[in-house]
Amino acid sequence: MGKTLISENLIENYTVQIATTEHLHLAEAICAEMEESAKARGTGIAKRSSEYLRAKMEEGKAIIALDNEGQFIGFCYVETWEHGKFVANSGLIVKPEWRKYGIAKAVKMRAFELSRTNYPDAKIIGITTSLAVMKINSELGYEPTTFSELPVNDAFWNGCKSCVNYDVLTRTDRKHCLCTGMIFDPEWEKNKAKREAEASLKEKEKETEHIEWNFLKDVKVLERLKSIKEKMFLKMQVRKAKRVVV
């Protein structure tokens, strides 16, 4: 349950969850909001039918945010490409009156969690012009990437067909467009875990070395200690002799 301030005096509650068949009736409203937002932004987005969104809900591949009356306030779904090699959390939308309160972040985080659980070896990708989405993706560990790292199949790029900038994408042979490509590679996590394990092992080895150091066996240190003591002893002897003479 999230808590957010939607006006000066009003605190509203909302929930973010995996959508189920209970939410099928909200697909039309989500679709309509997606279209409205696309018009307002003037970019155009991949057009999704309400049937498509319902299928995502039935498959357990959609995340929905609801207000305390059970109305949709945010949505996003999981798509896979190249037999699960790539996963995208697409169709992110938050109702205008609920924007800038962290709803998109909460929805994307839940979608990311779902994607990591269901497709632990998949690269999670996204293309966007939205600064808000870039910020959220960066927080989740995505990094900017070139389009060459994204899926090569047409099915993925067909999603861009209804965008007003599609001609830029085709003119550049899918190498560049106005969107920024972002990617999360699970290998980074594995390598990070491996590096951390190695570093902690080295640290432990150092500690053990320190504990097990036997200075009696360290001839050089012993010799140095001996020579210091000899010098001190000699100095004391000289001082004593001087006192006797006086």
Ligand X SMILES: CC(C)(COP(=O)(O)OP(=O)(O)OC[C@H]1O[C@@H](n2cnc3c(N)ncnc32)[C@H](O)[C@@H]1OP(=O)(O)O)[C@@H](O)C(=O)NCCC(=O)NCCS
| Interface contacts to ligand X, rule CB under 6 A | 37, 41, 92-94, 99-105, 128, 130-133, 135-136
Using the minimum distance from each CB to ligand X, give the nearer residue, 102 or 141: 102
Closest distance of CB 126 from ligand X, Å: 7
Closest distance of CB 102 from ligand X, Å: 4
Residue ranges in the chain assigned as alpha helix (H): 27-41, 50-58, 103-118, 131-140, 154-158, 166-171, 186-212, 219-245
Using the minimum distance from each CB to ligand X, give the nearer residue, 131 or 244: 131
- Among 55, 144, 121, 140, which residue's Cα sits nearest to residue 91? 55
Closest distance of CB 207 from ligand X, Å: 39
Q: Which residue is nearest to ligand X (CB)?
A: 104
Give, for 159, the enclosing helix (H) or strand (E).
Answer: none
Using the minimum distance from each CB to ligand X, give the nearer residue, 74 or 114: 74
Using the minimum distance from each CB to ligand X, give the nearer residue, 105 or 123: 105
Closest distance of CB 108 from ligand X, Å: 8
Q: Which residues of 218-242 are buried (b: 16+ CB within 10 A; e: fewer)?
A: eeeeeeeeeeeeeeeeeeeeeeeee
Whether the CA torsion 69, 109, 7, 37 is positive or negative: it is negative
